Amino acid sequence: MKWLSPARFQQHDQLIRAAATANQLDPMLLKAVVWQESRFDPQKLGAAGERGLMQVSEIAAREWAKEHQRENFQVEELFDPATNLEGRRLVSAPRGFALATNARSDSVCARGIQCRAESGATLGGGEGTKPISASVFQRNIDFPGTKKYIQSILERYHFYQRRGRM
């Protein structure tokens, strides 16, 4: 594992907190996703061309730019932490947020940050919803790689919760 300076763990906290607040997410959960996706490296380039803190794909970024009428958007802008956090779809559907990729569509949304079951319960809470346990959430995921991804994020999320700060 690549060594990380302690300052790197906190340098984007203000942006993460702002993005979480804007999307009614727990900042510790969003930070856990950033940790999983990039280990806080805003210059990270993924194997399939994903970029930045949240590993935003070019396709998703172009859709976001079109929706927000950013006519001269360049995919390299995703290396800017603020743009990257804004460009990642944190709100994906009327059902709410999702933490998983390839998860069962009858229990969670496709990809994003928080999960909301059909009942209106959310992993990590959220305004007007009731939390569901991580174990219930994970049981509904059929793909081993996705389960491992979720487990890693949840472990980091619980680490932040235990220490009482991001």
Residue 162 lies in a domain: no
Q: Tokens 């994020």 appear where?
A: 153
Pair 20, 74 in one domain: yes
Residue 4 lies in a domain: no
Q: Residues 36-57: pLDDT tens digits?
A: 999 999 999 999 999 999 999 8
Please give the average per-residue pLDDT across 25-40, as a whole number.
91
Contacts of 114 (CB under 8 A, 6+ apart): 25, 26, 29, 96, 97, 98, 99, 122, 123, 124, 126
Residue 32 lies in a domain: yes
Q: Residue 137: which domain range?
A: 91-143
Pair 38, 102 in one domain: no
pTM: 0.74
How many Cα atoms within 13 Å fall on the side-chain side of residue 40? 18
What is the pLDDT at residue 142? 74
Contact assessment for residue 124 and residue 29, using Cβ atoms and an 8 Å cutoff: yes
Residue 164 lies in a domain: no
Pair 95, 85 in one domain: no
Report the first-to-last Cα separation within the chain, whole angstroms. Answer: 21
Structural domains counted in the chain = 2
